[in-house]
Amino acid sequence: MVPNSLHNKNKSRKTKVQVIISIMLVLFFGVNTSCIYALDFNPIPFKSPSQQDQLFTRQQQPIQLKKKELTLEEQVDRVEMPVNFLQPVPLAGIRIAGLTAKSIAQLGQNYFVVIANSKFKSMYEVYRDNRLNNKPNYVTTDSIIHSYLAFTNRVYANFISKQLVKDLNELLAAMLKVAIADYQQAEDADVREDIERNIAFLSLASTLINPSFVPPRIGQVPELVSVDLKAIERGSKSESAIFSKEVDFSHFTPVGWYKTSNELKHFYQCREWLSRMEFPITDIATGTGNSRTNNFRRSVLLFRSLDLAEAQNKPALELWGKLAKYFGILGCQIENWQERTVYAQDYKSMFKSNANDLKVTLNSLAEPFYRTKLLLAIRRQKPVNLSSTSIFDLADRSSQADAPAIFRLFQITGEPEISWFRDIANIYPSDSLALSTFPLALIDMHVWGGGQANNILLDNVWSVDPLLVRRLVDLKKLVIRRLPGGQTEPIENRRWQMLSSYFRVFPEGIQSVLRSELWTSRRLESAFAAWLDGVVSLAPKSAISISSTSKAKSETKSETKSEVKSSTHSAQPVSPNRTKPISHYLEPDADMFLRLAVDARRLMSDSNITQYLDEAGKEHFNDFIRLFDRLAKIAQLEASGAPISFIDNKLLGNIDLILEKVDVPLPAILPIANNSVADADKSSHTGFTMALGNPGVLFIIMQNRQTLKWSLGRGAVYTYYEIPGTNLTESQWLKTLETSSMKQLPWTEQFDIIQSASVKTK
């Protein structure tokens, strides 16, 4: 045994050596010495070379790091917002119709107030009431964009009914023809079963788009289709008979304006089925019992049925590309960061399936390492590395290179928020604290670049539920896409490209109230409500064929579409009490109006979409473009402090005569249920409902730049609500609005007021 004194002396010598080495490394090489003291200079006694190899192998294993949970402060950056601070206006003793004394005091403090529970159902009614009572208009971007979103949704719905449904039917019929021919010539039982499942996959899609379709009697195809069709109708998580795995069938439940007709509903379900069902590129067979299928082989055989098919006297791949394009127009393309997805064009560059012989395809699959070579080619085409500064590297340390490769027939398209909302519905609280702990609108606008949303979240960081914070990174992965170099950028989203103007702070020189912090926050409510409006609103079919007659015949008989086309004509107000001109105002958001004009011109340039519009519908599209251009010029004048012309002032004063031709009632709901549970566990369903209320009536204090006189303008704005639970129906929501029993969001209480029915705006 070594004496303690000698052991301590040796230990002291070793420590001195470590210190000397550390100092030398720092002086000469700048090496961090934090790890030097962990070195052990005593030799390790290996009994055999094999033991040394084993220990070396153990030492080379990577250290398992615990996944870091990011806080809200780590995921959200504060944004500097150059806002104005207002000097309160004393309004004590002043009476304003439609406002209580408390509301008037708030108006003097903030220069604006919104009565969220107005009696109006449509925005144009607010401006009609102003015109008939000689009150100054404040024309908001909300009232303009609401009409446009409802109109373009109707144009899309018309295009679906007239063209896309027909194209989908033809594509599926052509692919089924090839798949059935392959089934008949296949000799191997496993291959026949793979093709049978593909026929069931295509047959279910055909049944969804055309309920009268009868699946072919091939093997168990009708039975497989029946099982999964019933699962789609239930809309919950259950076992898929066609894919032999658990599937979340809630994704196939139509949302928003797709629920307004059976044809739109069937199209939505077919599109989701064709895009969301994936084929893992793996040789591992799946299934139970005697039913075992190879998903990699299924994906190649499905691609073969597309590549060899003909539709509309052309290769079916051309029709597939056309459909993929328009699916992307109807909704943005959603990328899944947890998988490496390949599509038909990727297989086209690797498979030479132009031969009609099925054996050629099967033999190529049987080549040694063929799948490995395919995956290497896919990896070269679709890099998955992220930059070292990406927040997702911190939140998820799993190797992206290990992500499974998936084949999809179509890319998933839609609104990425809805998928995320469904995923978190199971953790949404059912009590009154939900509104403060789960600020869903703020979270969503944060990921789309809403700087003021960031600031409100950080100011209330203590109240945000940690469960929601933990799931925030999942939403970011849905709205941000990866680039080949590892960088990231927001995905292309038509709706948010327009609505992002709501996130901007107006430049200096405009009305002070429009640069206040509260107005910047108020525009957040408009931004998210406009997104929801784009999901649920739909103009009637007659909206794309506008009649020259007006509903307001008793008010004026001279207004026609020329109020938009001509700068020299505008209908006259009819009130007999008018004694002097009234100054009207436009929200000076020229950027928003220009974005709307760009979007309208883009849609008009697509002849495939507009070919189903009659001449009146096309002219109505042009009316929108002219209106947007004209409003942009007026907004630029107001922002610069220059006076607007007499004709422009009359246009703003008579804006209701234009809007009434395209405006639609505003109240609507979007239930988000937690359907991602098994059928046997339906009792645990929770969720929430997003809702648009009656148009809010905005009271805002404005100053005429030329006369320096103050006036009180009124305008129509969005009002938005979040409601725990999904049991609320649309009729119940309308009754709730009448009784003033809704609850406000905590972050809107400073500027939105819900008054009792007895003091509604008159």
Complete DSSP assignment for 387-448:
-TT-HHHHH--S-GGGSPEEE-SS--EE-HHHHHHHHHGGGS-SSTTHHHH--HHHHHHHHT
Q: What confidence score (pLDDT) does residue 260 get?
A: 93
Q: What confidence score (pLDDT) does residue 435 get?
A: 86
Q: What confidence score (pLDDT) does residue 283 get?
A: 59
SS (HEC) of 659-687: HCCCCCCCCEEEEEECCCCEHHHHHHCCE
| pLDDT-derived band at 384, boundaries 50, 70, 90 | very low
Cα distances from 479 to residues 446, 490, 670, in angstroms, run 11, 6, 20
| pLDDT-derived band at 675, boundaries 50, 70, 90 | low
| pLDDT-derived band at 481, boundaries 50, 70, 90 | confident
- Interval 262-283: pLDDT, tens: 999 999 999 999 999 988 877 5
Given a contact cutoff of 8 angstroms between Cβ atoms, the answer to whether 452 and 503 are in contact is yes
Q: What confidence score (pLDDT) does residue 549 get?
A: 32
- Residues 361-367 have a mean pLDDT of 57
Q: How far apart are CA 164 and CA 155, in angstroms?
A: 13
Residue found under tokens 């607007």: 644
| pLDDT-derived band at 376, boundaries 50, 70, 90 | low
Q: How do strand 112-115 and strand 696-703 relate by DSSP bridges?
A: antiparallel
- Residues 354-366 have a mean pLDDT of 57
- Interval 550-591: pLDDT, tens: 333 333 333 334 444 433 333 333 344 445 678 899 999 999
Q: How do strand 720-724 and strand 710-717 relate by DSSP bridges?
A: unpaired
Given a contact cutoff of 8 angstroms between Cβ atoms, the answer to whether 714 and 126 are in contact is yes
Q: How far apart are CA 725 and CA 709, in angstroms?
A: 48
Given a contact cutoff of 8 angstroms between Cβ atoms, the answer to whether 137 and 719 are in contact is no
Task: Give which of 422, 444, 670 is closest to 535, Cα–Cα.
Answer: 670
Q: What confidence score (pLDDT) does residue 199 get?
A: 96
- Please list, in sequence order, all residues whose beta carbon lies within 8 angstroms of the beta carbon of residue 758, skipping any fewer than 6 positions away: none
Q: What confidence score (pLDDT) does residue 527 get?
A: 96
Residue found under tokens 């003033």: 740
Q: How far apart are CA 354 and CA 707, in angstroms?
A: 77
Q: What confidence score (pLDDT) does residue 483 get?
A: 67
Q: What confidence score (pLDDT) does residue 29 get?
A: 40
Q: Spell out the domain ranges in the chain.
A: 4-60, 73-153+494-551+559-759, 156-416
Instruction: State which amino acid sits at residue 398.
Output: S
Question: Does residue 223 register a pLDDT over 70?
Answer: yes
Burial 394-425 (b: 16+ CB within 10 A, else e): ebbeeebeeeebbbbbbebbbbbbbbbbbbbb
| pLDDT-derived band at 123, boundaries 50, 70, 90 | very high
Q: What confidence score (pLDDT) does residue 365 get?
A: 58
Q: What confidence score (pLDDT) does residue 263 get?
A: 95
Q: How far apart are CA 197 and CA 209, in angstroms?
A: 19
Q: What confidence score (pLDDT) does residue 43 get?
A: 38
Please tell me which of 14-18, 164-168, 478-482 the model is most confident about, judged by mean pLDDT: 164-168
Q: What confidence score (pLDDT) does residue 45 get?
A: 40
Q: How far apart are CA 421 and CA 411, in angstroms?
A: 20
Question: Does residue 166 register a pLDDT over 90?
Answer: yes
The least confident of 276-280, 314-318, 498-502, 612-616 is 612-616
Strand-pairing partners, residue 311, are 314
* Three-state secondary structure call for residue 366: coil
| pLDDT-derived band at 49, boundaries 50, 70, 90 | very low
Q: What confidence score (pLDDT) does residue 131 get?
A: 94
Q: What percent of the chain has pLDDT over 70?
A: 74
| pLDDT-derived band at 702, boundaries 50, 70, 90 | confident
Q: How far apart are CA 400 and CA 350, in angstroms?
A: 23
Q: How far apart are CA 411 and CA 339, in angstroms?
A: 13
Helical ranges in 614-672 per DSSP H: 615-640, 646-653, 655-659
What's the start-to-end Cα distance of the chain, in Å? 100
Cα distances from 326 to residues 159, 165, 167, 609, 723, in angstroms, run 10, 12, 11, 9, 33
Given a contact cutoff of 8 angstroms between Cβ atoms, the answer to whether 522 and 112 are in contact is yes
Residue 275: half-sphere exposure toward Cβ, Cα within 13 Å: 24
Q: What is the CA radius of gyration of the chain?
A: 32
* pLDDT mean across residues, the chain: 79
Structure tokens at 625: 């473009």
Cα distances from 338 to residues 166, 392, 393, 399, 443, in angstroms, run 34, 12, 13, 10, 22
Q: How far apart are CA 331 and CA 607, in angstroms?
A: 19
Q: Rounded to 10 degrees, what is the CA torsion of 319, 301, 409, 200? A: 100
Given a contact cutoff of 8 angstroms between Cβ atoms, the answer to whether 75 and 450 are in contact is no
- Residues 692-718 have a mean pLDDT of 89
Q: Rounded to 10 degrees, what is the CA torsion of 310, 313, 315, 317? A: -90
- Interval 592-627: pLDDT, tens: 999 999 999 999 888 888 888 777 778 888 999 999
Cα distances from 579 to residues 319, 509, 556, 665, 701, in angstroms, run 63, 31, 19, 33, 21
Q: How do strand 752-753 and strand 112-115 relate by DSSP bridges?
A: parallel
The least confident of 283-297, 316-330, 364-378, 495-509 is 364-378
φ and ψ of 510, to 5 deg: -90, 180
Which is more confidently placed, 507 or 146? Answer: 146
Q: What confidence score (pLDDT) does residue 191 get?
A: 85
